[in-house]
Structure 1
Amino acid sequence: MATLGQLLPSCGGTVLNSSTLLPSPFPSPTTARVKMSIPATQASIVLPENRIILGCGSVGVDFLAAVASYPNPDDKIRSTSFQVQGGGNAGNALTCAARLGLTPRIISKVSNDSQGKGILEELEADGVDSSFIVVSDGGNSPFTYIIVDNQTKTRTCIHTPGYPPMIPTDLSQSNLLSSLDGAKLVYFDGRLHETAAVVAEEANTRGIPILIDAERKREGLDHLLSFASYVVCSTKFPQEWTDASSIPSALLSMLLRLPKVKFVIVTLGEDGCLMLQRTEMDNQDLEERDVDDLFEKLNQKKDTNATSPACISSNVAKLHAKGIGTISGKLLVGTAESIPQTELVDTTGAGDAFIGAVLYSICANMPPEKMLPFAAQVAAIKCRALGARAGLPHYTDPRLTPFLV
């Protein structure tokens, strides 16, 4: 059996059936599933008419060890629990979208090692079409060691990329066209940037909307952002990318620099999220508002006693930031669920869960005022289990029913 860290000579990659690979190193999620009856309220959920989405980005294996507290150098400690799960931003977000009722496809690359087999099997078991994943002959599939600190509720990740890396010629023209056939939305996590650029250019030619996960500055990300219809950012990205003095002014700067983008969201952890939505209104009578002042006023409207996610929205206005410019749009503040410390297990993949819910919301034409609390609720549910996928809810989860009926 190939060892996980073994690096073999670069070989050509082909799309293979997972049955040709070695035995999976971790149990298929199907073995842990229990059939449940669906209450009448959940049976009335109407899923989006077009549920096909395509994602391009990272997949991998996560080795998750929870510890009482993070060790000091040269310490030897025992884990309090251990799990092996599929990982990777794109794999996680698309798994979330599949459990919410979408039909995702994914473009990525793994090796024909035992970990690669496990990655493919877990994606397929959750309803993610893995037939466009390239499987290389030799090398290693991506994997990450994740140490979860039970005391501080933080996690430390040590990632080993897959080898050989994916290149555009790994994806045949016929597979590229097939992967986009019928897709309502295309999502990129910022990895595999050369291949992603090819997919984005074809999606743009076909007029398919594109969502970009802007987690951090990466090679090729600026080119991908030029195609974006929607952007979801990590907390630090907007200011790092624009050099703006505040997050609200950074979001405004992003919309000015990216004229195709309809909205940009920045996730703020336990502080929720912030969305700036562009509107097509160019009414001269619109009120002019400073975007930073407006953000402060919306923040003051938060209900500090509320435990469930909520959204506070401004009216459409001419929003401006000093030295940056003006757009017509709305600013929306989303709150996070207040999770009791006794229920908070692991934040790994919370951002991926949020994006998975946003993908669903776009396909369902969900208004932003409903989208932000829904995405926050999905992310909060995920945080009640170890790892990025174990806690991801299905659309039949009663905690999601208020958003879906």
Structure 2
Amino acid sequence: MSRDCENTVIVGCGAVSVDFLATVAAFPNPDDKIRSTSFKVQGGGNAGNALTCASRLGLKPRLISKVADDTQGRDILHELQVDGVDTSFMAVSQDGTSPFTYIIVDSQTKSRTCIHTPGFPPMKPDDLPESSLLTALNGSRLVYFDGRLHETALVVAQEAVKKNIPILMDAERLREGLDDLVKLADYVVCASRFPQAWTGASTVPKALVCMLLRLPNIKFVIVTLGKDGCIMLERSANGSHSFTVFLAEGVSTEEMDVDKLLESLEMRKNRSIHIPTCISSSVTKLHAEGIGTVCGRLYIGTAENIPPSELIDTTGAGDAFIGAILYAICANFAREKMLCFAATVAASKCRALGARSGLPYSTDPCLASFMHSLPLN
């Protein structure tokens, strides 16, 4: 583990659940009766998974969420505590039910189908006393939101902004209250469909440019693409500089079409390399037709090519990726190293059933090249 991350506190606010995972030979048709080939009960929920990942990598996560005082709720808390996640800021309802999810994993397609039942009663800002909020944020290096519990999350986010604590937002899909949260974020990690759904842009690269223009606080936005890796657009600090400063710092003053730039980066990918790699452009003025121009750098991160015999379950792969990004930000990893690290962590998760079984620890041999080298800026 990087010394920069020893005892580093982060705070997460969002979903926890119990996952009931059933593996089947093939997804059933309507009215079918089939048997599972394996079954597992495990903790889940985006925030619970991402913070478990961050904890195993070496951070000290504190989680803000809610469960009921039922068997499932107690199991959720216990599993998080065993993995080093601080649950002392979670609300526990004496009545009601804890959230749970049925997950069907298709062995044939390696896909998963989720049926989620929210907990009741839902978390409200009154469930988090101001004193607990202030204690939770005390000493925190980073705050993370998964887009759930939006009313409580907004209160936490506004307090984090007051304390100048950076925010990472997981934008999985359009959700109630997400716009208010994402406006306060410093970093955004999106699922593949989100950028175009949120911006209405015709392509993902155009959508990323649009996001940076709409959200002036954002330092970078990443869109995850599953087995196709990820794309990241990072805003350049030169973005507001004058023409003279652009020349002095060697930044191209010519505008580059962002779609064409992505195509050129794609052509540079070495598809014979099975481990995660990263390719980036130089800092340039990126133009999206009909949208505008930002100064930044475009990155392509490849996913690990997992042999079919080793690929078990993709449940929670995005959460593992985000957990690794949280660690990489705290460890001041270079952007290229950050994307390769996150892809490696996500690939490790995919080699086991459930969102947490395959999450690696900082001592895992697959992470040795990242953990034993000096962090870079």
Q: TM-score, normalised by structure 1?
A: 0.88
Structure 2 counterparts to residues 124-163 of structure 1, below 5 A: 124-163=81-120
Alpha-carbon distance, 1:46 to partner = 3.1
Q: Which secondary structure state, in structure 2, belongs to the residue aligned with residue 347 of structure 1?
A: coil
8 Å contact from structure 2 (residues 286, 293) kept in 1: yes
Contact 2:4 2:330 in 1 (8 A): no
1:66 maps to what in 2?
Answer: 23
Aligned equivalents of 1:327, 1:110: Cα separation in 2: 43
Residues 6 and 58, structure 2, Cα contact 8 Å, conserved in 1: no
Maintained 8 Å contact 2:20/2:39 = yes
| 2:332 paired residue among 365, 386, 396 | 365
Aligned equivalents of 1:181 and 1:59: distance in 2?
23
What does 1:3-402 correspond to in 2, within 5 Å? 46-49=3-6, 51-281=8-238, 282=241, 283-285=245-247, 286-287=251-252, 288-402=255-369
In 2, Cα distance between equivalents of 1:347 and 1:79 = 17
C-alpha RMSD over aligned residues = 0.9
Verify the 8 A CA contact 2:303 2:343 in the aligned structure 1.
yes
Number of equivalenced pairs: 362
Q: Which amino acid aligns with 1:347?
A: T
> Mind listing any 5+ residue stretches in structure 1 that lack a counterpart?
1-43
Q: Deviations over 1:118-177 (max 9, x none)?
A: 000000000000001100011100000000000111111000000000000110010010
Segments of 4+ moved more than 6 angstroms: none
Are 1:91 and 1:123, in contact at CA under 8 Å, matched by a contact in 2? yes
Is contact 1:50–1:363 with CA below 8 Å preserved after alignment? no
Q: Secondary structure at the match of 1:399?
A: helix
| Distance across 1 between alignment mates of 2:2 and 2:173 | 36
Deviations 1:169-215 (A, max 9, x none): 11001001001000000000000000000000000000000000000
Q: Name the structure 2 match of 1:35.
A: none
Go from structure 1 to structure 2 and tell me whether the alpha carbon gap of 1:50 and 1:279 turns closer, same or farther (over 3 Å shift).
Answer: farther
User: In structure 2, how many angstroms separate the alpha carbons of the residues matched to 1:45 and 1:322?
Assistant: 42
TM-fit CA distance, 1:74: 1.2
TM-score, L = length of structure 2: 0.95
User: Where does the alignment leave 5 or more consecutive residues of structure 2 unmatched?
Assistant: 373-377
Inter-partner Cα distance in structure 2 for 1:51 and 1:320: 38
Distance 2:223 2:137 in 1: 27
Q: How far off is 1:284 after superposition?
A: 3.7
Partners in 2 of 1:301 and 1:231 — Cα distance? 26
Q: Distance in 2 between matches of 1:278 and 1:49?
A: 28
What is the identity, as a one-letter code, of the residue corresponding to 1:110?
A: V
Cα offset for 1:47? 4.9
